Amino acid sequence: MKGFKYMATGLCAAALLICPGFASQSQAADLKIGVVNMQKVLTTSSAGKKAQSLIEQKMKSYDATFKKDRNALIAMREEIEKKNSAWSDSVKQEKFSAFQKKSAELGNKEREATQELRKLQERHVQPVLQKLESVIQNIAKSGNYDLILPSNAILFASGQHDITPEVTKALDAAMK
């Protein structure tokens, strides 16, 4: 939804700049535009790094747990493959059922972990994004910008319009 909002904003801005019916050539030349690489701000700002670090720690914890479970499943599968011909039908069925049950349990754990990581991301990244929006609005007002766009919503912008470092610095100051 936000991507659509940014794309729509970018398209409207492009229409204003390109179409002489919407704005005269002199008005378009006087338009002050800034471009922000939102992903770069999130990955280089102190608050973004902290949030990402927390998420990565939790992900590593889950990976370690799931690695043990995956290895146990691999061992079960190999045992089934090796000893399959020597087992009776009832033992084969029992072992195969146990394998399927463990496999389903692992799948459920992985889905739960994915949901937990999403919640963790929302809990730690969402406040940063909200503060980032406020910071960008303040920069727009103080810098007399007519328009500030995310870099992923536009096809081209010269480097002189990039205000990513300024936004990152302001976000770091605002999050202290």
Residue-wise pLDDT for 64-98, tens only, equals: 999 999 999 999 999 988 988 888 889 889 989 99
As a whole number, the mean pLDDT across the chain is 86
What's the one-letter identity of residue 60?
K
Average pLDDT over residues 134-155: 95
Q: How confident is the model at residue 27 (pLDDT cuts 50, 70, 90)?
A: low
Q: What is the pLDDT of residue 11?
A: 46
Cα separation, 130 vs 120, whole angstroms: 16
For residue 57, pLDDT over 90 is answered with: yes
Residue 34 DSSP one-character state: E
Sequence length of the chain is 176
What's the one-letter identity of residue 146?
D
- Is residue 114 within 8 A of residue 122, CB to CB? The reply is no
- Is residue 73 within 8 A of residue 106, CB to CB? The reply is yes
Dihedral of the CA atoms 111, 117, 123, 129 (nearest 10)? Answer: -110
Task: Of 119, 168, 110, 159, give the one whose Cα is nearest residue 139.
Answer: 168
For residue 34, pLDDT over 60 is answered with: yes
Q: What is the pLDDT of residue 158?
A: 86
Q: How confident is the model at residue 1 (pLDDT cuts 50, 70, 90)?
A: very low
Q: How confident is the model at residue 9 (pLDDT cuts 50, 70, 90)?
A: low
Residue-wise pLDDT for 94-111, tens only, equals: 989 999 999 999 999 999
